[in-house]
Chain A
Amino acid sequence: MKGSYYLKLLGIMTVLLFTTQVVRAQFTVTGTVTDGSTGEPLIGTTIFDAASETGTSTSIDGTYELELPSGTTTLRFSSVGFVVENIEVSGSDGEEITLDIELKPDVARLGEVVVSGLGTTVERSNLANSVTSISAEEFGGTTQATTLSQGLYGKVTGAEISANSGAPGGGISIRMRGVTTINGSSQPLYIVDGVYYDNSAIPNGSNAVTAAAAGGSSSNQDNPVNRIADLNPDEIKSIEILKGASAAAIYGQRASGGVVLITTKRGNRGGAEYSVSQSFGFTTISKKLGQRTFDVDKAEASFGPTGKTLFEEAASKNRFLDYEELMFGEEGMLSKTTADVSFGNESTSFYISGSVQDDEGIIKTTGYKKQSIRANIDHRFSPKFKVEVSSNYTHSESRRGLTNNDNTGTTFGVSMTATPNFVDLRPDSKGNYPDHPFNGANQLQTRDLFSNGEFVNRVTTSARVNYNVFQNKSSSMDLSFTGGVDFYSQNNKLIFPSELQFERVSGSPGTLIESTSDVLNTNTSLILVHTYTPNRDMTLTSQAGYTSFNNDQNTILTVANDILGSQTNVDQAINLNVNQTKIFQRDRGFFVQEELNYDNTYIVTAGLRGDKSDRNGDVNKMYYYPKASFAWNVSNEDFWDFGKLSNFKLRAAYGQTGNLSNFGAKFTSLGPANIDGLGGVLINNTRGVEDLKPERQAEIEVGFDASTDDGAASFEFTLYQKNIEDMLLQRELEPSTGFSFESFNSGEMRNRGIEIGLNLLPVSTSDVQWSTGINFWKNVSEVTDLPVPAFDVGGFGTSLGVFRIEEGESATQIVGIDPETDSSGNLVYRDGDGNIVSPSEGTPSIITKKLGDGEADFQMSLSNSLSVKNFDFSFLLHWKKGGDNINLTELLYDLNGTTNDYDDTDLEIADFRLEAGGLDATDINSDKRLSLLGVSSDHFVQDASYLKLREIGMYYNLPASIISESTTGIENIRIGVSGNNLITISPYRSYDPEVSNFGNQPIGRGIEVTPFPASRQFYFHFKVEF
């Protein structure tokens, strides 16, 4: 076999301590490590001598110095993203040798270190799973990600990432490898430097005004932000994404949605390094829908005599207004300033970063502001004892307007649907807003006078303590403790002044909504890792540990009506309603894992996690999640001889994870319901279940990785199948029991998918470097066992299209009503008894059937990065093929007679539907759609395919000759322009195919009701490094 040397990296610091133990004849190697393609020094390259277990890493200028025992040995130079070099070096006692190394870029990133257990890592070349890693460069190198989520689009194979709306400040849904749950949380677990980073989406309370939940769906439609948005993307060093149970099993009962491990930047050893960067930009609406063009007859037909009068008035002045421009036409300014400093010496290093972000939205008065400061400090008390502290404070303020569904006509979007271009809603010279003649709210007035602010203060701190218990030639033991605290207070303040049109006419004018949530997460883990190397060919790594997780959330929502004057404190009102909600969670668990690495050729891992939680019916019952994996580096075998194809690995992994029930599912309770000053309690509509247990996901993943010896090409291929059983279903109860819902464990669901990644470095010279990557992924789900009747999980009923869980069908199928057809596609008529009859004797038969599917047929992304001398150019294209949305925005425009294509005739409707609706193909689009209400919901279910230019950026690094570092102290100046989502091509008939009226939903996303329109961003960047 070749390449037979022992290697196990426990991190540079741990490695360094070995040097102090060595007392014998030594020689010194010094040198500089550079990027072979650009000649730039490579910071943080690891240099390791396996024989003497000695290592170091390069400092900021790429230099290193290493003392080695006299003799001949092989030094291993590894740096993430570069091909590993093994260089033989020999020296005698006291000799000083200079060894400069150029590393070649490696698209396969074999040397990258990836998490393999809670306490251990493994090099990518030995990894048995498909784990996506995203570097800071990939994440934010092309353009500015305003929130974390924005930097992930198109970069994670197997993930379906979708914005919930275009509102500033985030709000995103992530689905890893298909639907993982029906009622649990489908969002991944975020772990930032060891802290369980809370990603709740806490509603702002606007439902008190919009009453969105009062009609067909009682779900919240407040367009909340999920709190991962608080993390400043600029502080991120790398992201690792564990997409399914096979990789995430060690995270146990909370990992079914996958795990996103985020590492923030830390100080480099070496001199101080400063950088300041500034970006400016603007944002505009991605797409306008357009407005209907009226004439006097149309105005009268749709808006009655008032419409006729107003139209004539507008026509006489030729005053037709573009309301999309008035409402969504702002060019919002974007600005972000970041400054950071990194410093380190032998024992201490720190990284401090601060940033100020101020983004405006495309709707006036909306925007997002964030200030963040981070201090990451590492200190080595002794060679055996190291502490890493990470701390971050974030303050954010988002103003997201008032969009999405409502039942009171108050949101911007619903108001817009009732606004023809001939009405004038603009304020007069004194600032008085006219009443909207056709709607309860004047959206211009609401936008200008109301206020919807979300204010978050968040502190996240973690400490990691590593202690080397013992160390000898063949074995070592490390104990590490991690403790994390994540606390935030979210305050939502909505002010609806009494002069607003809809407030003025209400019985108690003026509404104040104030909601405060305090959320505290704490987690600890204690891990013991034992590494044993009986000989150079074999390493055994054992680990065992304990973990705990606590969550407490307390929300107080106060809604005040009938405001005193223009006061904004909730006590300055006549009617008050207060609601308090507490949520808690206590999890305790342990894990053990054993990993065998034989000669870097066979890597076998087996592990077991045990978890308890008070979300389960039996809080002290332990649930176990096993895992096992095998990686075979076939190319390390003697028989392997395929020329340049020097790395080939087969891998297989199996693992299980859990998903906990939602809070409160096990309680049968009565909630407060007062009447006339008498305190009362009323039974809740959820029937508690005492034997709830976690949902279980079992995933098997197989694949292979191949790459060439020069690092110029790599290929990754993965197949997976995951089965979810004991699903946490919320079954709709027969309401005659007095209850509407209960949770229970049952049923099975399956996801199968394929993920392919190809990375190439077609050109790599000192002047020109071009890298390209193509990813392809596809997932197919099926509900394989459902012991209850099919049920709906999102939407407004079958007449408008709804997501339905049904055995044998895709978990994301959309069903709706539609005329029944016979085998030849002809419309079926039935009489009152249900018998098929001739058209003259009956009416068209309307049935419920599958009309679409929320899941994409496949997704692809193409990334390209080209560097020519000092110019860098990169872009990312993302193609989602298939996947349907339920578009109800169009319906509201139709009902109000304002759709842009209201009078067109180009809408194609199948003949049998035309017949059932009594329509003709030449009828106008609005007639077609409206006449089909109650007949077919097919036209609401629309193809949401898209091709998006996610990111594009072009940068120029000022030549060193201009900067003249020696006199200015400036190392680098980089300027550039970039954009986000500049181009979207989609057949979808609304603002943007990425939308979710109900926010983060495992399944029922992609339903839209007058959302905040999507936007695109243009940036100019300027960065100086000292």
Chain B
Amino acid sequence: MNYIKKMMKSNILVYIGISSMLILGCNILDIEDRPDPNNTELSSVIENPTRSDVNTLVSGTLSGIRTDLAIYYVDVSMVGREIYRFLAAEPRFTGDLLGKENSELDAGSFYTTRPWAAYYTNIRMTNILIEAMNSGAGGLSDAERNGVLGFAKTIKAYEYLLALSLTNENGIRLQNQSDINSVGELLSKSESMDLIASTLDDAYSNLNSAGSEFLFNLPSGFTGFDAPGTFAQFNRGLRARVAAYQQDWSTVLSALNNSFIDAGADLKMGVYYDFTTQPNDVTNPLFANPQSGAGDSWVAHPSWRADAESGDARVDNKIVDRNSAASLDGLTSDDGLNVYKTQTSSIPIIRNAELLLLRAEALAQRNNAGDLDDAEDNLNVIRNAAGLSGFSRGSGGQAAVIDEMLNQRRYELFFEGHRWVDMRRYDRLDELPLDRVGDNVWVSFPIPENENL
């Protein structure tokens, strides 16, 4: 106390000093709370979004669905023994994915976690769009809102479907539409399929009340499918695929009837992922120089050329003879991949050829009078386009048609992500070629470790 008394006596300047600091202190200690200087904050687009907000969310969603697409294609195409991805710096491609010796698919490795995370980011985007429509969007007409909802739900279902294609028997997880802080339940494979199918159907009914135009623009991969009516045909194409996976053959056929299927049109007609070299855009991650060095190359599985019918024009179109073989980790191929020929080549989401093949499949499976003939007709559209003569089942019956259907899927939809899924749903994974002693073919990818299930 003595000290304080003395100090108080000591000099008036002490008071001036301390009190001036206290007065100033009120202001000099204040800090402004500023928003994210680099990005758009979520709350600003969910609450009462403008048309421009909707437009950027839609574009962002379609940009997002390309995230880590390369890993998904490597996953399904290597397990399905369509391609080899050789990367000296990444031994897990040729190790884990091909089941080399004792290796297992790792629930924590990037080939499991990253595609999954990408799909759910995109699902979040579609949920943000749905929430934005539900919460505000007062300035939009009902038709415009239905258009947005139809778009968002279709893409959401598609992303769920891709996730399920990897995890298969392990199922997928529902995303909580409104609460970003909670996790959803794990669905079994059949529940997942039902969810995807009903989401597509929901979207279809939204699209049917969405008027004649979307309020947003779609990139060129959706050319021809950029209005509610035509987008609905895309939606039905996806629905047909899902129905085929569910072995619901009558729904396949009914959905196809409302899709863009057209035996007389270009087989390539359909909806695509776009790639450009423009700012903040990405280039095709599956494009690579087919001759590039062994340490970093994309090559076809040797069986693809070996098993091809002679005269199949698709062989020379989709692969090229390499000047020198690419080898890594005990695997070799002479065939450089040439499916995606430039860095801006599009990757199909769904196209006419697949719809025709789905129709062939459903008809063959239904196997009513005349169905097998009709299935053959559909298959022959594909075969003829590839320069092959017409297929006839002869005495092979339904089994021969289904074999040929799978064979045409293998060649027509090469490196488009189907082979593994097709062989799996026909329980024929044991027919896939094994290259090394000890390799094996996976049935399902694990649910990522970080789901903490």
Interface residues of A (CB under 8 A from B): 215-216, 303-306, 405-409, 414, 417-418, 435-440, 469-470, 472, 474-475, 477, 479, 501, 505-508, 526, 528, 530, 532, 534, 540, 542, 544, 546, 548, 561-562, 574-578, 580-584, 586-590, 612-614, 619-620, 622, 664, 667-685, 687-688, 732-740, 789, 792, 797-799, 843-844, 846, 891-892, 895-896, 916-918, 931, 933-935
Least CB distance from B440 to A in Å reads 11
Contact: B110 with A679, CB < 8 Å?
no
Cα distance, A729 to B122, chains bound together (Å): 25
**Chain A residue contacts of B88, Cβ below 8 A:** 409, 414, 417-418, 439, 892, 895-896
Cα distance, A671 to B221, chains bound together (Å): 22
Picked from B28, B280, B287, the residue with its CB within 8 Å of the CB of A674 is B280
Select the stretch in B144-152, B290-298, B415-423 that faces chain A: B290-298
Least CB distance from B284 to A in Å reads 9
Cα distance, A393 to B411, chains bound together (Å): 66
A590/B277 contact (C-beta < 8 A), A418-B295, A669-B42, A678-B217 known: no
A736/B173 contact (C-beta < 8 A), A440-B296, A507-B287, A675-B281 known: yes
Contact: B279 with A577, CB < 8 Å?
yes
Residue of B nearest to A891 (CB): B91
Q: Determine if B264 is an interface residue (Cβ-Cβ < 8 Å).
A: no
**Chain B residue contacts of A684, Cβ below 8 A:** 39
A619/B33 contact (C-beta < 8 A), A216-B109, A407-B90, A673-B60 known: yes
Cα distance, A656 to B176, chains bound together (Å): 41
Residue of A nearest to B43 (CB): A668
Q: Determine if B307 is an interface residue (Cβ-Cβ < 8 Å).
A: no
Cα distance, A620 to B32, chains bound together (Å): 8
Interface residues of B (CB under 8 A from A): 2-3, 6-7, 10-11, 13-14, 17-18, 21, 24-25, 28-43, 45, 55-64, 66-67, 87-92, 95-96, 100-104, 106, 108-110, 113, 116-117, 120-121, 123-125, 127-128, 172-176, 180-184, 217-221, 274, 276-281, 283, 287, 289, 291-296, 324-325, 327-329, 332, 342-343, 448, 450-452
**Chain B residue contacts of A409, Cβ below 8 A:** 87-89, 293, 295-296
Residue of B nearest to A616 (CB): B31
A530/B7 contact (C-beta < 8 A), A417-B88, A677-B276, A799-B109 known: yes
Cα distance, A306 to B95, chains bound together (Å): 23
Picked from B13, B61, B101, the residue with its CB within 8 Å of the CB of A918 is B101
Least CB distance from A934 to B in Å reads 3
A440/B293 contact (C-beta < 8 A), A668-B180, A687-B180 known: yes
Contact: A736 with B31, CB < 8 Å?
no
Cα distance, A519 to B176, chains bound together (Å): 41
Cα distance, A576 to B451, chains bound together (Å): 37
Cα distance, A846 to B180, chains bound together (Å): 35
**Chain A residue contacts of B327, Cβ below 8 A:** 303-304
Picked from B14, B29, B289, the residue with its CB within 8 Å of the CB of A477 is B14
Cα distance, A917 to B100, chains bound together (Å): 12
Most buried by B among A436, A508, A675: A675
Residue of A nearest to B216 (CB): A678
A669/B33 contact (C-beta < 8 A), A414-B88, A674-B63, A892-B89 known: no
Contact: A680 with B21, CB < 8 Å?
no
In the A-B complex, list the 5 residue pairs whose CB atoms are closest, starting with the nearest: A738-B124, A934-B103, A680-B59, A680-B60, A676-B219
Cα distance, A210 to B279, chains bound together (Å): 19
Most buried by A among B11, B17, B36, B328: B36
Cα distance, A792 to B450, chains bound together (Å): 10
**Chain A residue contacts of B91, Cβ below 8 A:** 891, 895, 933
Contact: A215 with B121, CB < 8 Å?
no
Cα distance, A722 to B293, chains bound together (Å): 52
Least CB distance from B106 to A in Å reads 6
A469/B277 contact (C-beta < 8 A), A670-B45, A895-B91 known: no
Picked from B6, B42, B281, the residue with its CB within 8 Å of the CB of A676 is B281
Least CB distance from B156 to A in Å reads 11
Contact: B92 with A532, CB < 8 Å?
no
**Chain A residue contacts of B58, Cβ below 8 A:** 680
A470/B183 contact (C-beta < 8 A), A440-B295, A588-B31 known: no
**Chain A residue contacts of B14, Cβ below 8 A:** 469, 477, 530
Residue of A nearest to B62 (CB): A675
Residue of A nearest to B287 (CB): A507
Cα distance, A131 to B451, chains bound together (Å): 46
**Chain A residue contacts of B172, Cβ below 8 A:** 736
Most buried by B among A583, A735, A844: A735
A680/B279 contact (C-beta < 8 A), A407-B90, A667-B36 known: no
Picked from B35, B109, B123, B296, the residue with its CB within 8 Å of the CB of A738 is B123
A580/B295 contact (C-beta < 8 A), A674-B59, A674-B280 known: no
Most buried by A among B62, B102, B183, B292: B102
A614/B34 contact (C-beta < 8 A), A505-B291, A933-B91 known: yes
Contact: B108 with A792, CB < 8 Å?
yes
Q: Enumerate 27 A-B pairs (CB-CB under 8 Å) in ascending A order.
A: A215-B87, A438-B295, A469-B14, A507-B289, A544-B18, A546-B24, A577-B279, A577-B280, A668-B41, A668-B42, A675-B219, A676-B276, A677-B281, A678-B62, A678-B217, A682-B63, A683-B42, A685-B121, A734-B451, A735-B450, A737-B182, A798-B106, A799-B106, A895-B328, A918-B101, A933-B100, A934-B104
Contact: A671 with B38, CB < 8 Å?
yes
**Chain B residue contacts of A668, Cβ below 8 A:** 41-43, 180
Least CB distance from A820 to B in Å reads 13
Cα distance, A11 to B310, chains bound together (Å): 94
**Chain B residue contacts of A734, Cβ below 8 A:** 173, 183, 450-452
Picked from B11, B40, B287, B294, the residue with its CB within 8 Å of the CB of A669 is B40
A436/B293 contact (C-beta < 8 A), A530-B14, A737-B180 known: yes
A672/B280 contact (C-beta < 8 A), A475-B6, A736-B120, A738-B123 known: yes
Cα distance, A736 to B181, chains bound together (Å): 11
Picked from B11, B95, B183, B292, the residue with its CB within 8 Å of the CB of A934 is B95
Least CB distance from A943 to B in Å reads 23
Cα distance, A417 to B448, chains bound together (Å): 32
**Chain B residue contacts of A306, Cβ below 8 A:** 324-325
Cα distance, A482 to B29, chains bound together (Å): 17
Other A-B contacts than A544-B18, A678-B217, A891-B91, 9 sampled, CB-CB below 8 A, are A577-B280, A669-B36, A677-B219, A677-B278, A679-B55, A737-B120, A738-B180, A917-B102, A918-B101
Least CB distance from B272 to A in Å reads 10
A737/B295 contact (C-beta < 8 A), A676-B219, A798-B106 known: no
Contact: B89 with A737, CB < 8 Å?
no
Most buried by A among B38, B58, B109, B174: B38
Contact: B289 with A505, CB < 8 Å?
yes
Least CB distance from B124 to A in Å reads 3
Least CB distance from B372 to A in Å reads 39
Contact: A667 with B35, CB < 8 Å?
yes
Cα distance, A236 to B33, chains bound together (Å): 38
Picked from A505, A578, A798, the residue with its CB within 8 Å of the CB of B279 is A578
Contact: B30 with A588, CB < 8 Å?
yes
Contact: B110 with A215, CB < 8 Å?
yes
Cα distance, A861 to B218, chains bound together (Å): 66
Cα distance, A546 to B21, chains bound together (Å): 8
Cα distance, A414 to B296, chains bound together (Å): 11
Least CB distance from A260 to B in Å reads 26
Contact: A675 with B39, CB < 8 Å?
no
Cα distance, A96 to B327, chains bound together (Å): 93
Residue of A nearest to B124 (CB): A738
Least CB distance from A681 to B in Å reads 4
**Chain A residue contacts of B106, Cβ below 8 A:** 797-799
**Chain A residue contacts of B277, Cβ below 8 A:** 508, 561-562, 574-575
Contact: B124 with A408, CB < 8 Å?
no
Picked from B125, B281, B293, the residue with its CB within 8 Å of the CB of A683 is B125
Residue of A nearest to B14 (CB): A477
Cα distance, A438 to B325, chains bound together (Å): 11
